[in-house]
Structure 1
């Protein structure tokens, strides 16, 4: 059993050397802001962007990067916030107990005007750690990650990563696995960011690589369909698509090692 898993990991590791095709598209950098701390991801609305860290949030002017508000968890109840998405006047942040097992997750809700914590939705124990969520066509779309370097007690690796569709009242409707070629690119981690973009495509990132993977729902079956890879300046981790700009697709991403938020446009 252990030998089989080791061989599988070696094969996946070799496949990491294979770069997925980009088909000529790339994310062109427009602007960057160096901040005091950028750990997990970024969310955005018409006037501000929001940096998501493990236990804190900061709010910044899009025009200058100036910080205008901060929130810090003082309860010790939040362990690992992963990403954020702005819906209306609310900022929804995914949260998990990563790297602990069994995996447990929640969605934490904040007022964008004040960054005050105003609500929570618990997923409880789920077969994966929630890393990103988006609201699209009246439903929640939530990614639950599994990892090959920190497999759960049940022996799951990143092939167990799944995208789940929920109603507004959090009833599960459908779920999909990720394409093997994208899971190989994620290795040894999993998906860290994701959002619905233009053309009815799902855009997602891994943990480290400066790449954006474009997926779509399959016509049949249970596996998301791989479309293409778009090279980016920002690393993996959680990103945001600026939906206040309709004429083009503007992306907010991060680089953790030097604490930058990077604004790009997908050409």
Structure 2
């Protein structure tokens, strides 16, 4: 009887392990574009992708990577743009004064048709450096990073990194901490890119590891819940899910050491 129970238990364990392995996901590269400069991240819409650099932008055709527009800050007022998200015909780019302290952030807004700068929203001094933002379910979701290196502010390390929920008028509603396992993966840096996925989960990246971390809002408490890690070809930084593609999850990421934008599909 005991032997039969043991055999049944082992068989069940093998089935569960096999099922877990079969469900493991990874990002498979389907295309890449080498460009003149790729520093911070990439945004995407139905026909184009947008490369975000510290204080410049370029717009490229998704079909061949050809540059069709460019913008450079000539004022010296922008220091460190981090990421971007396209909503309608506007490109919203997060900006901070990294690595200066005290930390200050803003969102800079551009017309996707021309890359003309059309607006700005300042957060002023905030307890973190804004690295990514997304608009989902009628709210803004913004990540404010803290670091465990020389950019540490006021004794804080990357455990102070937070995801903040705002309404459409930028009034803060809620905020969550990041789970310890993901913060350890980020260390000594923090989250550099993130967005809501079509499955209702939060996808985010760190500074340089070829990994994407999947999180969800907790049913209770103040800390985001870790779901899984997806190995990627692109290396951290800001990325974008191509929402114009249906029935599969295509995303654009970067490798900034060699200036590539990499298109991948999560399988």
* Unmatched tracts of structure 1, length 5 or more: 1-20
- Aligned pairs for 1:185-200 within 5 A: 185-200=185-200
1:3 corresponding residue in structure 2: none
Q: Deviations over 1:29-71 (max 9, x none)?
A: 0000000000000000000000000010000000000000000
1:231 corresponding residue in structure 2: 231
Q: Deviations over 1:156-175 (max 9, x none)?
A: 00000000000000010100
Q: Given that residues 99 and 151 in structure 2 are in contact (C-alpha distance below 8 angstroms), is that contact kept between their aligned partners in structure 1?
A: no
Task: Please tell me the root mean square deviation across aligned C-alpha atoms, in Å.
Answer: 1.2
Q: Given that residues 45 and 242 in structure 1 are in contact (C-alpha distance below 8 angstroms), is that contact kept between their aligned partners in structure 2?
A: yes
What is the CA distance between 1:22 and its match in structure 2? 11
Q: Deviations over 1:99-132 (max 9, x none)?
A: 0000000000000000000000000000000000
2:29 corresponding residue in structure 1: 29
- Aligned pairs for 1:109-128 within 5 A: 109-128=109-128
1:18 corresponding residue in structure 2: none
- Aligned pairs for 1:1-267 within 5 A: 24-267=24-267
Which protein is bigger by CA-based radius of gyration? 2
> What TM-score do you get using the length of structure 2 for normalisation?
0.91
What is the CA distance between 1:154 and its match in structure 2? 1.5
What is the CA distance between 1:23 and its match in structure 2? 5.7
CA distance in 2, matches of 1:226, 1:185: 12
What is the CA distance between 1:198 and its match in structure 2? 2.2
CA distance in 1, matches of 2:80, 2:151: 17
What is the CA distance between 1:247 and its match in structure 2? 1.4
Alignment: residue pair count:
247
CA distance in 2, matches of 1:206, 1:198: 20
Sort the Cα spacing of 1:22 and 1:87 in 2 relative to 1 into closer, same or farther, 3 A.
Answer: farther
* Unmatched tracts of structure 2, length 5 or more: 1-20
CA distance in 1, matches of 2:145, 2:196: 18
> What TM-score do you get using the length of structure 1 for normalisation?
0.91
Q: Given that residues 102 and 152 in structure 1 are in contact (C-alpha distance below 8 angstroms), is that contact kept between their aligned partners in structure 2?
A: no
Q: Deviations over 1:156-204 (max 9, x none)?
A: 0000000000000001010000000000000000000000002210000
